[in-house]
Structure 1
Amino acid sequence: MAFSYKPLWKLLLDRDLSKTDLRDTLGLSTATVAKLGKDEFVSMQIIDRLCTHFQVQPSEIFEWKGSDN
């Protein structure tokens, strides 16, 4: 994948939150949290919910890693 959610995981660590906290607080499915954990694509609606909840820009949730080519 060309995107990484590493900034999201750092944000959770900085705020002393777990993936379970994230799932429960935002009402995310376990499948969505698993996709985030595997750097898979999620909908813009999920990105919007994350940004709104944490009051951050998308760049603080994910980063572009470049092409795998």
Structure 2
Amino acid sequence: MTVSYKKLWKLLIDKDMKKKDLETAANISNYTITKMNRGENVTVEVIGKICKALNCTADDIMEFIDE
């Protein structure tokens, strides 16, 4: 099972935000953004920070895809 963050990238577009803006707002590193770009796993803490910064839930920014 893999993780897709396509919903997050779409949400950023809808909010007229760049990935750099998300880094600042959620206080996460560029490395974390890079991992998410590659579809790699990140911690629940990171997901929580992003959700708090964007005022959304985990379902709004990610989904699991069966391989």
Number of residue pairs the alignment of both structures matches = 67
- The percentage of aligned residue pairs carrying the same residue is 34
Q: Secondary structure at the match of 1:3?
A: strand
Pairwise CA RMSD of aligned residues? 1.1
User: Which protein is bigger by CA-based radius of gyration?
Assistant: 1
CA deviation string 1:10-36 (max 9, x = no partner): 000000000111112222111101011
Q: So what's the TM-score if we normalise by structure 1?
A: 0.88
Q: TM-score, normalised by structure 2?
A: 0.91
Deviation >6 Å, runs of 4+: none
Query: Equivalents in 2 of 1:48, 1:59: separation in Å?
Result: 11
Unaligned runs of 5+ in 1: none
